Amino acid sequence: MNAFNFVFLLFIPCFFVFHPGLEIPSASSAQVLNTIEKNQIDLKDDPMLLSNILFQSTDGGQTWQDISQGLPENLQDIGFYAGDSELYLHNKKGMYRSKESFKKPVWEKVNFIDQGSNEIAFGVNKVFAYNYDGRIFQKINATGMWMPVYTEFKKKLVRTIFETNKGTVFVGCDSGLYKSTDNGKTWKNVLAEGWVMKMVDSKGVLLATSQKGIIRSTDDGENWDLVVSEGGVGISVETIEGGFAAITYNTKSKTRRMRISADGGKKWLPIDERLPASESIASIKKVGDYLICGHPDGIFLSSNKGKSWNMVLSSVDKKVYNLYTSKNVIFAVARNFGC
C-alpha cells in the first residue's frame, strides 16, 4: 500500500536551465528543472479510449458524466489529483493536465524530467511532485518549470507531503513524520514511529493516517493522539462539511470501515453498517447534504449520515471508484485497486 499508491508524473530526461529573474531559495535547489513544451494531445497520433475511466458529477453525486474522452487508450493504475484550478492524471504512459473548464476538461500531455517521480501534492499556492525515494520538486508558479526542494529527504522513503493553511509543511516517511515552519530550511521529527500517509487540516485540527489508525493533533503537529485504532491501519482521512471522515482497515476482519466526526475528530460515528462489507472501500466524501462512497460495487450516496445508501453509479469491470473533489465538482476514477 504505497501512498498513497496513488499517483503519478512520468518524467523524461531533459536539461537544466536557469530562469532569469527567479529568486533561487538555496544552493541545493539552484538548478531549475525545465519541462518540455506541453502539447494538447494529438488525436491522430494518440488513440482515444472513449469511456469508463474518468467521471464527474456537478450535482452532489446524483448524476455522473463520463469525461474520459481525450485520454490515451488502455490506461491502468491511474493516479489523479484535483486542485482548485487544474487537474492532473497519470499512468505509465505519462502525465496529463487540464486547466480548462471542469465541465469539459481539455487534456494536455506534460513531460517531466525525473522519471521516478509519481506523486503530486497541492500546497498553499504550490504544487509538489515527489517519489518514494525522496526526490521532491516544486512547480514554479506561472511557468512550466520545476525545481528540487527539501533535498534532505533523498532516500528517506517519502509517502506524503502536506502543507497546512498556516504554511507549515509536513513530510511523512516510513521513518515517521517531519515538520518545517520555515519553508524547509529546518526540520523537526514530530512522530518517530511508523509511516504517515495522508493528512488533512481544518480549524486548527490535523488528522493523519498511520500504521496504528487515525491520529490527531491540535498544536500544529507537535504532538499526536491516536483517535481511531480499530484493526490498526489508517487508509484515508478527509475534511467534510461539519467535520472529518475517515477510512480504516481492520486486519482481523479484513474489511475497511468508514466513520465521520462532527467534533473536530474526537469522537467518531460509523456510517457503513448499510453497505456491503469490503476490504477495498476507496473513498468517502461529502458534498452538500450527501455523503458519497467509492465502493467495489459502485458509487453510493447517503443523505442521512449513512443510515441508508443508494447506488448512483455501478462499477466498471470490477474496478473501484476513487473519489476526488474540487470546489463542488466530484471526480471518480475507476481503478483496479482502492487507495
Please give the average per-residue pLDDT across 286-312, as a whole number: 94
| pLDDT over threshold 60, residue 36 | no
Please give the average per-residue pLDDT across 85-95, as a whole number: 77
Residue 128 counted as domain residue: yes
Give pLDDT, residue 144: 73
CA angle 233, 334, 294 (to 5 degrees): 50
Please give the average per-residue pLDDT across 11-16, as a whole number: 32
Taking the C-alpha atoms of residue 72 and residue 22, their distance in angstroms, rounded to an integer, is 35
Residue 47 counted as domain residue: no
| pLDDT over threshold 50, residue 301 | yes
User: In 3D, which of 310, 267, 246, 229 has the Cα closest to residue 60?
Assistant: 310
pLDDT tens column, 109-157: 776 656 566 788 999 888 898 888 899 999 888 777 889 999 999 888 9
| pLDDT over threshold 60, residue 170 | yes
pLDDT band at 28 (very low <50, low <70, confident <90, very high): very low
Amino acid identity at 104: K
Residue 18 counted as domain residue: yes
Q: How many CB atoms lie within 10 A of CB 222?
A: 11
All cell numbers assigned to 258: 468508514
| pLDDT over threshold 60, residue 32 | no
Please give the average per-residue pLDDT across 236-263, as a whole number: 92
Give pLDDT, residue 142: 78
4 Cβ contact partners less than 8 Å away, ≥ 6 residues apart: 119, 159, 160, 197, 198, 339
| pLDDT over threshold 60, residue 100 | no
Selected residue with higher pLDDT from 86 and 314: 314
Give pLDDT, residue 161: 96
Give pLDDT, residue 30: 35
3-state per-residue secondary structure call for 116-163: CCCEEEECCCCEEEECCCCCEEEECCCCCEEEECCHHHCCCCEEEEEE
Taking the C-alpha atoms of residue 98 and residue 306, their distance in angstroms, rounded to an integer, is 33
* Placement of cell 519553508 in the chain: 183
DSSP for 5-62? TT----B----EE--TT-----GGG-SEEEPPPPEE--TTTS-B--SSSEEEESSTTS
Please give the average per-residue pLDDT across 3-9, as a whole number: 37
Domain ranges, residue 165: 1-36+111-193
Taking the C-alpha atoms of residue 136 and residue 130, their distance in angstroms, rounded to an integer, is 4
All cell numbers assigned to 237: 482521512
Residue 163 counted as domain residue: yes
Residue 10 counted as domain residue: yes
Mean model confidence pLDDT for the chain: 80
Please give the average per-residue pLDDT across 202-221, as a whole number: 96
Residue 182 counted as domain residue: yes
Selected residue with higher pLDDT from 120 and 74: 120
Residue 12 counted as domain residue: yes
| pLDDT over threshold 60, residue 233 | yes
* Placement of cell 476514477 in the chain: 333
Selected residue with higher pLDDT from 3 and 20: 3
Sign, Cα dihedral of 177, 195, 199, 32: positive
User: In 3D, which of 122, 119, 237 has the Cα closest to residue 173?
Assistant: 119
pTM for the predicted model, two decimal places: 0.81
pLDDT band at 222 (very low <50, low <70, confident <90, very high): very high
All cell numbers assigned to 59: 450535482
Residue 269 counted as domain residue: no
Taking the C-alpha atoms of residue 158 and residue 85, their distance in angstroms, rounded to an integer, is 26
Taking the C-alpha atoms of residue 271 and residue 259, their distance in angstroms, rounded to an integer, is 5
Give pLDDT, residue 307: 94
Give pLDDT, residue 216: 98
- The number of distinct structural domains making up the chain is 1
